[in-house]
Chain A
Amino acid sequence: MKSTYTGVAVNPGYVKARAYVVSDENTRPFTKGDILVVPYSHPRYSLMLFDAGGLVCETGAVMAHICIIAGEIGLPCLTQVADATRIADGSLIEVDSEKGEVRIVE
């Protein structure tokens, strides 16, 4: 598995927290402050942003609805991060929007 993923910055900022990787199989409760990692924009995910520490989108333009909402809330946000949903759920990760990077810490 890669240790660094790159993408397009939507909203600047830095956050270090656990990754919550959205999938049908992931039944783990979302914890406030988790970094939301999503395959694409969906209102269900958008509504999770209100408790999230950051957002990583695998696909979608900078104007994807979920990215617009992250921008309004002021969350560090990257999009078009290839393979982002392959990040292990629960990993400690850093989102560094200035550098356009997602780094796996542990």
Chain B
Amino acid sequence: MNDSILLEKYRDSLKVAWGYNDYNDWPIRISSIMHLFADAFAEEFVSDLNMIWDRTEDAAEIIGKAFKFPGRIFRLIDVVLFGLRRKRIPLSEQHQFIFKMIKIAETLKLSDTFSELGTNLLKGTHIPTELDRINSNVVHRLQAALFAYTEATLFRGHDATKSVHGPYTDDNSCFIFREYYNLRPTELWERKLLLPVESIRTICNYNSDVEVRVDNFDHIYHEGILGKSLIGSVIEINGVREKNDQVIIELTDEIIQKARAVAAIVDRWEWRQKAEKYAEIFWIRKYPLSNLCGRTKSPPSHVYHQILQGNINKVRQKCLSPDEVAKLIRLVL
């Protein structure tokens, strides 16, 4: 695939992500505060990326392995581009950055890099041969609760804690993997606010009554009712298979309780506290790369200073129209 086609395909996939354009982002519209830390984030990200890239020929594989899920890579591209654009980095360098990131994502994916066929298939995925008969409502309620929890704890940066891949098809059914990791980000929140588990994975096998697609940003789309189409599932908590409905129900109740508690705290904050937390979440998102370079999970101190001295961008608090989103994509790429 030549460079212009690659960019075109990335641009098309981005329309989905940016077209997802809610009226009021929680806890704060990210575009209204990103100018306070995006430059530093982008500079550090590209510097780390290039350092690894120049050091070894296997850079794409090494970085891919560190991030583990391609959706994380795709979701980081446009936020770094935002910072590069602000720093007036030449377009050719921005494109080189995109190509490297896509190459990293490709090391993790089986095919369909941009999920044009509605698949997000990962290399090395093991499809279970035996499924458990956990009640469908119990499984989907757990997944819904986890989604709410990851949003409460990592805001819009929840790619650092959640990935979806599939559908892996098998005759008349398909498997969808939902992976929840970094469920105890103690750098961000007090331990008592967080779940007692580090990771949960659910594997759902659906019959053909439901059509499921997953895009390269880990969004899941379905036509039909997921709950009624579940044939069987596997739930792993901290890597250990859990078959007991009651244990899962109790865990789900705890997840809901924790999500409510965190969201209630954040709702009481003023915008600077939210901006600081967002910056910390961004550096958590970047951590697999930082770790390869011997950096910590925290933003540099000048980022906090910038937030303290800076102001919210009131113009960017409003929602963009579809036309404005399209214009922005043309500007970036």
The 8 A CB mask of A64-94 against B (1 = contact, 0 = none) is: 1100110111100000000000000000000
Alpha-carbon separation in the docked complex, A9 to B21 (Å): 17
Residues of B within 8 A of A61 (CB): 19-22
Q: A44-B267, A71-B222 are in contact. Are A60 and B22 (CB under 8 A)?
A: yes
The answer to whether A73 touches B22, judged by C-beta atoms less than 8 angstroms apart, is no
The answer to whether A68 touches B226, judged by C-beta atoms less than 8 angstroms apart, is no
The answer to whether A74 touches B26, judged by C-beta atoms less than 8 angstroms apart, is no
A8 to chain B, nearest CB (A): 13
The answer to whether B137 touches A12, judged by C-beta atoms less than 8 angstroms apart, is no
Complex: chain A residue closest to B215, CB-CB: A63
Interface range on chain B: under 10, 10 to 19, 20 to 34, or 35 or more? 20 to 34
> B138-167: which have CB < 8 Å to A?
140-141, 143-145, 147-148, 151-152
Q: A13-B225, A71-B222, A74-B137 are in contact. Are A49 and B144 (CB under 8 A)?
A: yes
B131 to chain A, nearest CB (A): 19
A42 to chain B, nearest CB (A): 5
Residues of B within 8 A of A64 (CB): 20, 22
The answer to whether A50 touches B267, judged by C-beta atoms less than 8 angstroms apart, is no
The answer to whether B23 touches A39, judged by C-beta atoms less than 8 angstroms apart, is yes
Alpha-carbon separation in the docked complex, A31 to B101 (Å): 48
Residues of B within 8 A of A46 (CB): 147-148, 151
Q: Verify if B193 is at the interface (C-beta below 8 Å from A).
A: no
The answer to whether A63 touches B256, judged by C-beta atoms less than 8 angstroms apart, is no
A63 to chain B, nearest CB (A): 5
For A, the interface residue count at a CB cutoff of 8 angstroms equals: 27
The answer to whether A42 touches B147, judged by C-beta atoms less than 8 angstroms apart, is no
- Pick from B21, B26, B219, B226: contact of A43, CB below 8 A: B26
The answer to whether A43 touches B228, judged by C-beta atoms less than 8 angstroms apart, is no
The answer to whether A44 touches B219, judged by C-beta atoms less than 8 angstroms apart, is no
Q: Verify if A105 is at the interface (C-beta below 8 Å from B).
A: no
The answer to whether B140 touches A74, judged by C-beta atoms less than 8 angstroms apart, is yes
Residues of A within 8 A of B144 (CB): 49-50, 69, 72-73
Residues of B within 8 A of A49 (CB): 144
Residues of B within 8 A of A13 (CB): 225
The 8 A CB mask of B182-224 against A (1 = contact, 0 = none) is: 0000000000000000000000000000000000000111101
The answer to whether B22 touches A44, judged by C-beta atoms less than 8 angstroms apart, is no
- Pick from A40, A41, A72: contact of B226, CB below 8 A: A72
Q: Verify if B133 is at the interface (C-beta below 8 Å from A).
A: no
Alpha-carbon separation in the docked complex, A2 to B184 (Å): 47
Residues of A within 8 A of B152 (CB): 43
Residues of A within 8 A of B19 (CB): 61
Complex: chain A residue closest to B152, CB-CB: A43
- Pick from A41, A47, A58, A74: contact of B225, CB below 8 A: A74
The answer to whether B263 touches A44, judged by C-beta atoms less than 8 angstroms apart, is yes
Residues of B within 8 A of A74 (CB): 137, 140, 225-228
Residues of B within 8 A of A71 (CB): 222, 226
Most buried by B among A47, A62, A64, A72: A72
- Pick from B140, B145, B151: contact of A65, CB below 8 A: B151
* 8 additional A-B residue pairs with CB within 8 Å, beyond A40-B22, A64-B20: A41-B26, A46-B147, A50-B256, A61-B22, A62-B221, A63-B219, A68-B220, A74-B137
* 21 A–B pairs (Cβ distance < 8 Å), ordered by A: A12-B224, A13-B225, A40-B22, A40-B23, A41-B22, A41-B24, A43-B148, A43-B152, A44-B263, A46-B148, A47-B256, A50-B256, A59-B22, A62-B221, A63-B221, A64-B20, A64-B22, A69-B144, A69-B147, A69-B148, A74-B227
Show the binding face of A for B, using Cβ within 8 Å: 11-13, 39-44, 46-47, 49-50, 58-65, 68-69, 71-74
Which 8 pairs show the lowest CB-CB distances between chains A and B?
Answer: A74-B227, A72-B144, A40-B23, A59-B23, A40-B24, A69-B144, A43-B263, A72-B140
